[in-house]
A and B are shown apart, each in its own frame.
Chain A
């Protein structure tokens, strides 16, 4: 089930919160667990067993690690077992066909593909359970003795299918005791609404624009349109992904959980390094804490550091999907980060700020163009159209048509991708208590209500509403 849908908004969510708020505290986790399992089963009735299996494994390993607290070698073995189990599940369900295909093409074999549908959210929940085992091994969290509580952590529906990757340490305490009240409900539901609006009115529309442009026959779109399309996709991905995080964080807050922020205006970054500090934060810190730093990070000399960066970015690319373009995309960032770190990073900082933004935005747009095409042949074709090598014009009237259809939304997205909204909000809150201030504040409230009605209108009419993360 996706958040931005009529069944979720008008049935699942109200029913869940009604029960969740009515039952006594000790039952709340069970209600959450049951609804999460239903939520998952909604799209994947069979794979639910996989998620339960993954939870059973890591729960048992956790208990054993606790039991053998004073036997270091057993703890190491248990940690390895957990990592092995999680990576096996992930490897088998997500990458098996990719490996088979690669082996086939290298060794000229024809091993048949398994054609398994990818379990939704598998990359998220395996990373979550791994973080539990590793943190436990490092003695950074306490063991969880109640299986149902642990299962609740793994399956919690807000972040189950599209992140953020919530570490056990973040919610450990709140799993046992948390404040649930009106304040959290108001704040959380408001945040959820913001995410919903972002997803339905901005991301989906940019997606529709990108779909129209990339669906044109090869060579028929001008260079300007090709770039317009690539930027539209970048905006779609950012608004879509950050909208999911907003909705997850919002629903978490409504339940009394406090997840960490996942996006911090990444498209407004001034360097690629900064971009990755602001984009999908839960993933990049995961790789930082569980791969980069354990490998030695930057403490073992430049050669080793470059190697570590390369490994991390190869894995980051691969995490996003079992296809060469994602690996290419990861490596692209690895290379750029190394170059920024060792070659032009300092020079970049001396440039005027606006150029730093343009530089980063350019790199990000090119990156997501690689990201979006799983078919490298199509990527090549689209890239040719972007640089005018497809016998296409620099600009054409078709661009004006696309711009007329989507220009308003496109520009709104560009503006909202910058931290303009918090800036405006700060000023609205500080307004004096006179009639002008009142009007503006009233308009603000009315604006949100209208946007909500529009969201419902778009969802009811069943317009383009894709779920982008089934490859993750």
Chain B
């Protein structure tokens, strides 16, 4: 009979928890967007005969309940802490790496052929400009030594070399310099999938030397830390409350006079940064004001009359600031949203002598913008 007492206590506590869960769920206001996870939360599914019969109503209802569960973020964190406690080396496809880094896995590429085909036919279609391609290795390659023991992170680098060998355009290899300085500077964020200003600076050195520009030393920039609480996309995946935020560092040349035009919204500013994003979770968006199909950056005091077109993913957003002093005008194109042929923009504009395609290796395989390069 004594056994019953403990069962009774456990049973009462758990029943109480469940009812508290039910009641708070019903009472709590429902959010539509989760900053923490950076995703739209599921809305209450529409009721219709079809939706009920094919099961999509029920599926939607289940997602709705999970997404709006009370203290959802805390539960996600509890799960991560428990998995760490069990000695797990990965959470949600992200490696728990050393020195506070969380490093995303590299998925076996399936679109290599498409990437090569698109890049090569694009390079061929350029009449007056030269095409350069920079494939940026990510943390899984550069910080391979920080990966958990027994994890082989070499696949991305293997594939980067393969892709570079297949391309007809000029390739710019920044792998060497990133690895050289990997221990010296934080080249990648610990909780976000992007590279830092330091990583972008090193890549700029390689690019600049290749293009015959006079490259600046790091000390020549005004370097400022604008936040140390950046918890980016990787943090959204792992929800580790114990993780400390990243610093975001800006590299600026103080007396540059720029005119930055966001063509889609028509907004014109004089800054490459939108510091309003520091108040939000996704702070990396401060570079070039997040996502725009086309951004035009003009500098009338530039070192040359030349213009540059950059076709890119978000890695370029913190890389572009290093180039503004050299080109009178830079077109930054996001082909996920830019609906016209980029080759037309280039071929109709004789001032554009060079085109840079910049992608990071971890998402190039699935990047929707690749299909938009023509």
Q: Hey, which bits of chain A sit against chain B, CB under 8 A? A: 1, 5-7, 9-11, 13-14, 42-43, 45-46, 182-183, 185-187, 189-190, 193, 397-398, 400-401, 404-409, 425, 429, 441, 444-445, 448-449, 452-454, 456-463
Contacts and interface: CB of A to CB of B under 8 A. Distances in A.
Given A6-B62, A45-B53, 10 more contacts: A1-B58, A10-B69, A186-B12, A187-B4, A449-B13, A452-B14, A456-B75, A458-B79, A460-B66, A461-B75
Interface of B: 2-4, 6-15, 17-19, 21-22, 25, 52-53, 55, 58, 61-62, 65-66, 69, 72, 75-76, 78-79, 82, 86-90, 148-151, 239
B7 A408 contact: no
Tell me which of B17, B82, B86, B90 has the highest count of chain A C-beta atoms within 10 A of its own C-beta: B86
Contact of B11 (A6, A14, A189): A189
A401 B149 contact: yes
A186 B8 contact: yes
Contact of B14 (A406, A449, A461): A449
Contacts of A425: 3
A10 B22 contact: yes
30 contacts: A5-B62, A10-B22, A10-B25, A10-B65, A11-B22, A13-B18, A14-B19, A43-B55, A46-B53, A186-B4, A186-B11, A193-B10, A401-B151, A404-B88, A404-B89, A405-B88, A407-B87, A445-B6, A449-B10, A449-B13, A449-B14, A453-B78, A456-B21, A457-B78, A458-B79, A460-B66, A460-B75, A460-B76, A461-B79, A462-B66
A11 to B, nearest CB: 7
Contacts of A449: 10, 13-14, 17
A401 B89 contact: yes
Summarize B's interface: helix, strand, loop or mixed: helix
A431 to B, nearest CB: 9
B150 A400 contact: yes
Given A400-B149, A405-B88, A461-B79, A14 B18 contact: yes
Tell me which of B25, B78, B90 has the highest count of chain A C-beta atoms within 10 A of its own C-beta: B78
Given A189-B15, A457-B78, A444 B6 contact: yes
A441 B7 contact: no
A188 B172 CA distance: 67
A404 B55 contact: no
A457 B17 contact: no
3 residue pairs, one from A and one from B, having the closest CB atoms:
A401-B150, A457-B79, A190-B7
Contact of B10 (A1, A445, A461): A445
Nearest to A407: B87
A208 B79 CA distance: 15
A275 to B, nearest CB: 29
Nearest to A399: B150
